[in-house]
Amino acid sequence: MDKIKNEKGMTLVEVLIAVVITSIVLTTLFSFLNVITRQYTKNNREVSVQNEVQTLMMQLENFIIDAEIDVATVTYNAADDEPTGIRLYILNDESFNVIGFSSDDRCLYYYEYSDQADNHASDDYKNASTRNAKLAAAQVDDDGEVEKNTDLQRYLFAENISVFSPEIHISETENYVSLVLELNNEGEVYRSAKNIFLRNQIVQPTATPSPGASVTPTPTPTPVI
């Protein structure tokens, strides 16, 4: 009964102290929580970047490894009427795959040659000069959109690519494509490099490739064989 009669309650100072202590404890707790969630999202992004690069590498390897007739690269620079960057041409008996890196939007594109009537095994494609004329005819216009009257249809392959550098080593003694791929997603960087050894012996190249050389695609682009 005596206890109940003490009706003084808490003083303002006591309440304030209690509030301050509670807030300090809560702030520490939440800052811990914040650190944990940030680390979690960082790890998540790291894993997804690695996963993306590895999947992409497998897809590209699949495109390249079965090359039958020719593998070639063409570099487009700002002066060309094309998205700047390097383009990799893989020519097979029955398909024609083009993988292009655009440094303007850091995206990798897959170009589908949509002229179904065209026979890729035809002599037009096996002969370098007539093939180049066909490649020149199938180009993307300068805003990156594929025009309807060309034969190339463009599809997004990958985003946030910082490095795409295929180097072609095809000679009497070597038969592989060395590919470096780097993805940079908001500072999360993952790089993968691979030598892709071709299953088929590519036709002996007529010209020696000059690494990093820019080739003007018009009027006839000269893909380095």
Partner 1 sequence: MKNRNGFSLIELIIVLAIMGVLMGFASVGINMLTSQSAKVVSRDVYNMIGSAQTVAMSKGNSYFMLSCDSTGNRRACVLYQRTESDGSTTWVILQEQELSNNCDINLVIGGNSYDLYQTTTGSHLQGVIIPIDRSTGRFQSVYFYSGDDTAPLGSAAADNCTDIIIQQGSRVYDIALVAATGKYYYK
Note whether 184 binds partner 1 by CB under 8 A. no
d(CA 213, CA 169): 15
Note whether 51 binds partner 1 by CB under 8 A. yes
Note whether 34 binds partner 1 by CB under 8 A. no
Note whether 156 binds partner 1 by CB under 8 A. yes
Q: What is the DSSP letter of 117?
A: T
Could you say which of 27, 37, 39, 55 contacts partner 1 (CB under 8 A)?
55
Provide the minimum distance between the beta carbon of 112 and partner 1 in the complex, in angstroms, as a whole number: 6
Provide the minimum distance between the beta carbon of 5 and partner 1 in the complex, in angstroms, as a whole number: 17
Tell me the DSSP string of 163-186: EEEEEEEESSS-EEEEEEEEEEET
By beta-carbon proximity to partner 1, the closer residue of 17 and 58 is 58
Q: 127-135 long-range CB contacts below 8 Å, 24 or more apart?
A: 128/70, 128/206, 128/225, 129/220, 131/70, 131/91, 132/220, 132/221, 132/222, 132/223, 133/220, 135/74, 135/89, 135/217, 135/221, 135/223
By beta-carbon proximity to partner 1, the closer residue of 158 and 224 is 158
By beta-carbon proximity to partner 1, the closer residue of 158 and 198 is 158
Range list of β-strands (E), 56-95: 70-76, 85-91
Could you say which of 93, 112, 118, 182 contacts partner 1 (CB under 8 A)?
112
Could you say which of 11, 94, 155, 187 contacts partner 1 (CB under 8 A)?
155
Q: How far is CA 125 from the centre of its chain?
A: 27
d(CA 139, CA 146): 8
Between the alpha carbon of residue 113 and those of residues 89, 150, 225, the distances in Å are 11, 9, 19
Provide the minimum distance between the beta carbon of 20 and partner 1 in the complex, in angstroms, as a whole number: 21
By beta-carbon proximity to partner 1, the closer residue of 128 and 161 is 161
The residue count for binding partner 1 (CB under 8 A) is 15
- Residues 186-225 binding partner 1 (CB under 8 A) are none
Note whether 19 binds partner 1 by CB under 8 A. no
Binding site for partner 1 (CB under 8 A): 48, 51, 55, 58-59, 62-63, 110, 112, 153, 155-159
